Structure 1
C-alpha cells in the first residue's frame, strides 16, 4: 500500500532541485558555498527549503551550477506575504523542532490574539483601511497554526514583565491575551517564564530574540527591531545568543510562578485594577 507523503512547499521544491543540481555537478555543499560566497550551513538551509537565496546569491548559484539563470528566475515566483525582514523567520518557524523566544515589550507574534494584533497594527498606522488591518491580522495569527500539533515545535517563551504591564488595546484585550498565554502554559503547550522588574538589568534587555533548532541542521538565531530583523546562522553568533538567553533565563521566575503572575495580571485587567 502506498505511503502518504507530506506535500512539499514551493520553497522545499526549490531546495530539492538545488540539491539535485548540485549533486549532479559533483559539488559538496562546502564547494558550492565557496563559489556562492556563503557558508555550507546556509546552502543546507537553502536545500531544506528553510531559506531562500537573495537575488545576487541565486545568480551566483546559477553560475556555479551552469544553470543559465534557472534559480534566479524561479526565485522571482516565490513571493511571500510577510515583510521582507521577516519572511525567512516565518518559514523557519514552520520547520523548527524547538523555538525559544524572548520578548521585551510586546507579546510574540505566535501568541497574539486577534484583538492584540489589531491594536498593534493600528498603533503605527496613522492612516489605515479596515481591510488592510483585517488582512494583516489574519496573516499574523495564521502563523500560530504551527502550534496546533501536540508536540512540535517545543516552545519556550520568556517575557519581560513589561510585556504584562504595557496595556495594548485596552483592559479587556489585555485580559484575553494574557489568559490565552496562561492557558497554553497550563496545558503544557509552552514553557513560560517571566523576567520580573526586580531582576534589574539582564542579558536580553536590548530587544526581541529567538533561537530555533531543527532535526537535521544547525540552530539559528533571530533578533528583531523596528521594521528590521536579522537572522544569524554563524555558529559563534548563535552560541552568543544562546548564552545570553540562558543568562536571562537564570534570572527569570519559575514556570509556576510565571503562570501565577500572568493569571493575576489578567484578573487585574479584567477588573480594571491596572
Structure 2
C-alpha cells in the first residue's frame, strides 16, 4: 500500500522523494553502489537521500530523471524535478509571514508595483547579505537558506523582458538602520543606487526633515494590474493582509501619491543615498 503524505508539508514531500528514489532503484535491481556509480556520486550520498538525511538539489533531481527516464525528463520536467519543485515551494510557504503567500501569488502578475518602506529595504531590492542581516540567527541554516532563496526568486521579475514599472519610496531610517553592519549597508546602498538608475525602477527617499501624515501610518505595497482589480498589501503584528476593497485601495493610492510628492526627487534621493553610504565607511 502506498503511504499517504501531505503535499503542503516539506518534510512529508522529502520523505516521498526518498520513497520514490528507493522504489525506482529497487525496481531496476540496482544497489546503492551501482546507482552512485552511474550518477557520479558516493553510495553514502544515495543512502542519505533515501533516509531523508540529505537535502535534494535541483541538479540531483534532474540527474535522477535523466537516469530513470521519468515522464518529462527530456524537458527538465520529470518526476523527481516536479517533486523537487514541490519541496522548494513548501519550504518557502513554511518560512513566510502568514498571509504573504497570497501576496506572492499576485506580485508576479502585476504590471505596476508601488511601495512605501517605513522600516527596512523592500524584499525586491535587498542584497542577500542584507536579507540574512534581517533574519533571526537562531533559526536553522536550512530555514535561513529557504528564506533567502525565496526572496532571490522574487527578484527574478526585475530581469523579465517586460518587468512591472516599480516605484519605491524609502523612509530615510531605512538607510540609517545598520542591518548586517557597515559592509553590508555599503553594498546594499550601492545596489539601491544602481537600481534607481534603471528605466523601470524609481527609488525615492523620504527625508527626516519631512513630516508627512500618510508616511507615519507604516509601509504598504500597491499592486496594479492591466485588467484585474488593484490590490493593497500591508503587514501588522507579524501578519500580512491582502486587501481588494476598492475604498481601501483608493485611499492607499491617495496616500502613496502624497508620500511620493513629499519625497525627494531622483537626483536628491541619489545624493542622500550617497551621503548615507559614506557614514558606513
Q: TM-score range by the shorter chain?
A: 0.5 to 0.7
* Greater mean deviation of Cα atoms: 166-175 or 215-224: 215-224
Contact 1:157–1:192 (CA under 8 A) maintained in structure 2: yes
Determine if contact 1:119/1:168 at 8 Å carries over to the other structure.
yes
Q: For residues 274 and 159 of structure 2, what CA distance do their matches in structure 1 show?
A: 22
Mapping of residues 154-233 of structure 1, within 5 Å: 154-233=165-244
Task: Give the aligned length.
Answer: 191
Unaligned runs of 5+ in 1: 1-77
- Does structure 1 residue 101 correspond to structure 2 residue 112? no
- SS of the residue corresponding to residue 229 of structure 1 reads strand
Residue from 101, 110, 117 that aligns with 2:124: 110
Query: Is the 1:150–1:189 contact (alpha carbons within 8 Å) kept by the matching residues of 2?
Result: no
Structure 1 residues 144-178: Cα deviation after superposition (integer angstroms, max 9, x where no partner): 00111254210000000010011100001011111
Give the equivalent residue in structure 2 for 1:27.
none
* 2:223 match: secondary structure: strand
**1:267 equivalent in alignment to 2:281:** no
CA RMSD of aligned residues (A): 1.9
CA contact (8 A) 2:163 2:200 kept: no
Q: Cα gap change, 1:150/1:197 in structure 2, threshold over 3 Å: closer, same or farther?
A: farther
Q: How many angstroms does 1:255 deviate by?
A: 1.3
Where in structure 1 do 4 or more consecutive aligned residues deviate above 6 Å? none
Shift of 1:253: 0.5
Q: TM-score, normalised by structure 2?
A: 0.64
Shift of 1:239: 0.3
2:158 pairs with 1:144: no
1:32 maps to what in 2? none
Deviations 1:2-29 (A, max 9, x none): xxxxxxxxxxxxxxxxxxxxxxxxxxxx
Contact persistence 1:161–1:194 (CA under 8 A): yes
Using the alignment, how far apart are the partners of 2:236 and 2:115 within structure 1? 14
Contact persistence 2:210–2:262 (CA under 8 A) = yes
Contact 2:164 2:200 in 1 (8 A): no
Q: Does the Cα contact within 8 Å between 1:208 and 1:225 map onto a contact in 2?
A: no
TM score, norm. by length of structure 1: 0.66
The superposition leaves residues 97-149 of structure 1 with CA deviations (integer Å, 9 ceiling, x where unpaired) of 00000100100011111101101113xx5x32222212211112211001112
Assess if the C-alpha contact under 8 Å between 1:85 and 1:227 holds in 2.
Answer: no
Secondary structure at the counterpart of residue 279 of structure 2: helix
Unaligned runs of 5+ residues in structure 2 are 1-88
Q: Matches of 1:150 and 1:267 in 2, distance apart?
A: 34
Aligned pair in 2 of structure 1 residues 121, 165: CA closer, same or farther (>3 Å)? same
Larger radius of gyration: 2
Corresponding position of 2:22: none
